[in-house]
Amino acid sequence: MQDKLNLMIPGPTPVPENVLSSMSKHPIGHRSGDFQKIVQKTTEQLKWLHQTTADVLTITGSGTAAMEAGIINTLSKGDQVICGDNGKFGERWVKVARAYGLDVKVVKADWGTPLDPNQFKRILEEDTNEKIKAVILTHSETSTGVINDLKSINNEVKNHSKAITIADCVTSLGACNIPMDEWGIDVIASGSQKGYMIPPGLSFVAMSKRAWEANNQSNLPKFYLDLKQYLKTVNQNSNPFTPAINLYFALEASLTMMQKEGLNNIFARHARHQKATQEGIKAMGLNLFTKENFGSPAITAVKPENIDAESIRKAIKNDFDILLAGGQDHLKGKIFRIGHLGFVNNRDIISVISALESTLDKMGKLNVPTGQGIAKTISVLNNE
Ligand SMILES: *Cc1c(COP(=O)(O)O)cnc(C)c1O
């Protein structure tokens, strides 16, 4: 059978039918009254999702554009920043910061291990002249399935410095609780093809009052990503350039769906699916790559012993048409990753755990009685 693909990678994620159909019409004029209504509505919905009264701006571009915008709109050439790096995305923000001539101190942790808030604390305490202007980090490190302790790290930033916190929440927003105002996060970046359940092409950057104050000092070069232009136009329910209009139709449809479900239900669903996935994997005798307490609500990384992870991933694609993600860089062939972000229900989790167990059984690599993994998954799904 063809064309029954189930995307279980950490983005792009599956798109609901009514979101898909919302896009299948002619674009409308981006200076029209009808489009202004959509911008007005989605802007309010985005504030709801971020749990903030701050400005949330929509950019046509992928998640990296939103992160880059957050960095270049708040900082100036030669500014000192701390970048957390414990995976592929942490590495990316170090590269972006250096590309713009920032003076980057890197706080590292091994891939699969979370960043240590105390390391941030120590560096900030030593910075008595307040040279450090920003702390840049990834909340859910998609490459390894680790969730970093954004709340604690941001508390250290707030307690020991005047630096702003710029957070990549691309695979955590819409998956777990991130109350922007309550925690006092200054910049949050996210992208449409992840928790938003819409295709790639839009990204979002939320800016606190302190972030705008930093913006007044910022002298890094910018044009397409100059957020002042986005702020000015969003206040007129518009956009500085021609936006991806049909993706706005999708955004309105998906955020409306999310509001119907409710934030707490969305977070509980992701937590349940995360646990059902983790428990099923352990019960079939496989190892999690990330310690359970540090697992991302969006993605679970699995490290099979004595089996090539790519051969499992390929068999699951061939036999079940479920697409999983592989390992990156030195983890290629060592881990595979199961995305459970966005438009995911119990059926998806039951399918992927059964497919995995069936695949191991077929390979002769299942060291426990067949069905033990899925039994555990079902028990979590029915009791959480
Ligand atoms: C997907 C992702 C991004 C954004 O990547 P783009 O390809 O630019 O959309 C950023 N950070 C994390 C953690 C991600 O998972």
pLDDT of residue 3: 79
Name the residue of 7, 86, 148, 168 to mutate for ligand 1: max ligand atoms within 8 A of Cβ: 168
Detail the residues annotated as belonging to a binding site for substrate: 337
Task: Specify if 299 maps to a domain.
Answer: yes
Using an 8 Å Cβ cutoff, are 336 and 300 in contact? Answer: no
Give the ligand 1 atom nearest the CA of 298: 15
Residues 6 or more apart whose Cβ sits within 8 Å of residue 143:
87, 88, 89, 111, 328, 331
Instruction: Give residue-wise pLDDT tens across range 47-79.
Output: 999 999 999 999 999 999 999 999 999 999 999
Q: Give a yes or no: residue 344 inside a domain.
A: yes
Whether residue 208 sits in one domain with residue 251? yes
Q: Judge whether residue 307 has pLDDT over 80.
A: yes
Residue 14 has pLDDT above 70, yes or no: yes
| Model pLDDT, residue 1 | 58
pLDDT digits (tens, 9 = 90+) for 326-350: 999 999 999 999 999 999 999 999 9
Q: What is the CA(180)–ligand 1 centre distance, in A?
A: 19
One domain, residues 115 and 162: yes
Distance CA 360, CA 315 (A): 9
Is the overall model pTM greater than 0.95, yes or no? yes
- Judge if 299 and 241 occupy the same domain: no
Out of 244, 260, 276, a domain closes at 260
Q: Whose C-alpha lies nearest to ligand 1, atom 11? A: 170
Measured CA to CA, the distance from residue 49 to residue 178 in angstroms comes to 9
Is it the case that residue 2 has pLDDT exceeding 80? no
Judgement on whether residues 349 and 290 belong to the same structural domain of the protein:
yes
- Do 34 and 143 fall into the same domain? yes
User: Does residue 8 fall inside a structural domain?
Assistant: no
Is residue 64 in a domain? yes
DSSP run (H or E) holding 336: strand 336-339
Report how far ligand 1's centroid is from the alpha carbon of 55 (Å).
21
**Domain for residue 4, yes or no?**
no
C-beta neighbour count of 41 within 10 angstroms: 16
- Residue (of 213, 212, 253, 256) closest to 235 by Cα position: 212
| Domain-embedded: residue 41 | yes
* Number of residues in the chain: 384
In angstroms, what is the span from residue 245 Cα to ligand 1's centroid? 21
- Per residue in 133-168, pLDDT tens? 999 999 999 999 999 999 999 999 999 999 999 999
Instruction: Specify the residue with its C-alpha closest to ligand 1, atom 6.
Output: 63
At which of 242, 260, 278 does a domain end?
260
Q: Could you tell me if 303 and 354 lie in one domain?
A: yes
| Domain range enclosing 365 | 263-383
Give Cβ neighbours of residue 274 (< 8 Å, ≥ 6 apart).
295, 296, 297, 300, 340
Q: What is the dihedral of CA 143, 147, 152, 155, to 10 degrees?
A: 50
The sign of the CA dihedral 175, 176, 180, 181 is positive
Domain contains 5: no
Residue 87, in any domain of the structure: yes
In ligand 1, the atom with minimum distance to the C-alpha of 67 is 10
What pLDDT is attached to residue 384?
82
Domain check: are 162 and 305 in the same one? no
- Please count the structural domains in the chain: 2
- Considering the domain architecture, whether residues 94 and 41 belong to the same structural domain is answered as yes
Give the distance (Å) from ligand 1 centre to CA of residue 344.
19
State the amino acid at position 241 in one-letter form.
F
**Do 143 and 76 have their domain in common?**
yes
Q: What is the DSSP string of 265-309?
A: HHHHHHHHHHHHHHHHHHHTTPPBSS-GGGB-SSEEEE--SSS-H
Whether residue 47 sits in one domain with residue 140:
yes
Q: Which whole number is the average pLDDT over 122-126?
A: 97
214 and 276 housed in the same domain = no
As a whole number, mean pLDDT of residues 226-236 equals 97
Task: Kindly state whether residues 201 and 281 are assigned to the same domain.
Answer: no
CATH for 336: 3.90.1150.10
**Residues with Cβ within 6 A of ligand 1?**
10-11, 62-64, 89, 138, 140, 142, 168, 170-171, 191, 194
Please give the C-alpha separations between residue 289 and each of 3, 32, 146, 281, in angstroms, as whole numbers. 31, 50, 9, 11
Which of 260, 285, 312 terminates a domain? The answer is 260
Residue-level pLDDT at 282: 98
pLDDT digits (tens, 9 = 90+) for 234-292: 999 999 999 999 999 999 999 999 999 999 999 999 999 999 999 999 999 999 999 88
Q: What is the CATH number of the domain that holds 34?
A: 3.40.640.10
